[in-house]
Chains A and B, each alone.
Chain A
């Protein structure tokens, strides 16, 4: 099958890959670039486990074609920590035990980061509605919401 040649930026690095039209950005990240931090929970945009940033917008990588990444900027969970310094959200998720199995965690972290960049002081309700597209079956969301609020507080004073 003929493949598209795509040049894009992932976590600040220029990368190139070949993909067929039906391969999604998620397929490409996981199976071509081996960035398996973004997870496939549904492949229909309902679970948010594949949340990534595309040109600064929060999207589900399963609903973007790999070919659409041409010339764009993609940010994934693998780029969230800087060197050995965790992002405050990552740190707070650990402190608050905001994960159990951890499968939804990368997507939730990417989504929460997008929220705090847009809204540094969200209310609990805003956090809950913003994260409504990130399903978590383990935690009941309580500790996730607390971790996001606490990280927001820390980031505001930083």
Chain B
């Protein structure tokens, strides 16, 4: 009798284990390193649960915390077109999987777009800089991504690759909500295009964090502006981060600067417009009231930095 029970238990357990074997197989995570964009697009399109790996600074954290369970991890870093910084007739091109540290070390790009570099250099520690990428920072789709407001302000455009397709999309059109992007299945970002900066132009990025480093932005503001020979602002773009479900391009804030000398009155109007554009939440990093107020403060300070740079050019 007892042995019969034991046999029954044994068979139940072995059935259970067989099921687990199958589950294990199903849970197995594959790792691929495509060498071309089309190979990568095909892998991403063909597989449910395919995740892109660029710098890994977000994906690996989510993986360890059990927030994601990829079936296949597609490492894009072996695709030559996703690496490096180039300059051509259209301006600057940055491979989407280029490490931020590498971009920060590029003297000519730093001279051209100091605000963009300020933003991307604020992504995490020195160690994170060695891995984090612009493509990853954007596609992680955090409202607080540090590189995004400055890229938006700079008018950066993404090269989006898909299965048999390529298209260009403005940075501000990629993130559609926290953790969500407008990219279709199989699509990924290959690179970022930035124009050559115009004469008498300047850009800047500032963020607020409780410490001096290592925090996620409570508020981030990128400002890019162009002056005419008389010092009047002819063009401006303002990007805001961490104050709404997505980073924002704030036309009203830009309007506050255009046609002015970026004087105190204009800066005050800019701050008011930036604060008015905020639709933040209360969370562990800041309150609604705090974010709205500080967005205005940082918009003003950031615009001043951009102005200083434009005046020196």
Which residue numbers of A lie inside 8 Å of B, CB to CB? 1-2, 4, 20-22, 24, 43-46, 48, 51, 54, 57-60, 62-65, 67-68, 111, 114-115, 129-134
Contacts and interface: CB of A to CB of B under 8 A. Distances in A.
B24 A1 contact: yes
Contacts of A45: 57, 60-61, 124-125, 127-128
Interface of B: 24, 28-31, 53, 55-57, 60-61, 63-65, 73, 75, 77, 99, 101, 124-128, 130-131, 212-214
Contact of B131 (A44, A48, A63, A129): A63
- Name the prevailing secondary structure of the A interface residues: mixed
Contact of B213 (A62, A63, A129): A129
Nearest to A1: B28
Contacts of B99: 57
Nearest to B63: A22
Given A1-B28, A45-B127, A59-B130, A64 B214 contact: no
B124 A57 contact: no
A134 B128 CA distance: 11
Contact of A63 (B28, B56, B77, B214): B56
B126 A63 contact: no
Contact of B29 (A21, A111, A132): A21
Contacts of A4: 31
A45 B130 CA distance: 12
A129 B121 CA distance: 12
Contact of A133 (B73, B75, B124): B124
A133 B215 CA distance: 10
Contact of B60 (A48, A65, A129): A65
Given A1-B28, A4-B31, A58-B126, A63 B61 contact: yes
A4 B214 CA distance: 33
Given A44-B65, A57-B99, A111-B126, 11 more contacts: A21-B29, A48-B125, A57-B130, A58-B130, A59-B127, A62-B60, A63-B61, A63-B127, A65-B53, A67-B31, A129-B213
B128 A133 contact: yes
Contacts of A115: 126
A20 B213 CA distance: 33
B126 A68 contact: no
Nearest to A131: B126
Given A64-B56, A65-B31, A132 B212 contact: yes
Contacts of B29: 20-22
A64 B57 CA distance: 8
Nearest to A43: B64
B131 A111 contact: no
23 contacts: A1-B28, A21-B28, A21-B73, A24-B60, A43-B61, A45-B124, A45-B127, A45-B128, A48-B127, A57-B131, A58-B127, A58-B130, A59-B127, A60-B125, A60-B127, A65-B56, A65-B60, A65-B73, A67-B31, A68-B53, A68-B77, A111-B127, A115-B126
Contact of B125 (A22, A43, A62, A132): A132
A46 B61 CA distance: 10
A21 B31 contact: yes
Contact of B214 (A1, A67, A132): A132
A23 B122 CA distance: 28
Contacts of A57: 99, 101, 130-131
Contacts of A132: 125-126, 212-214
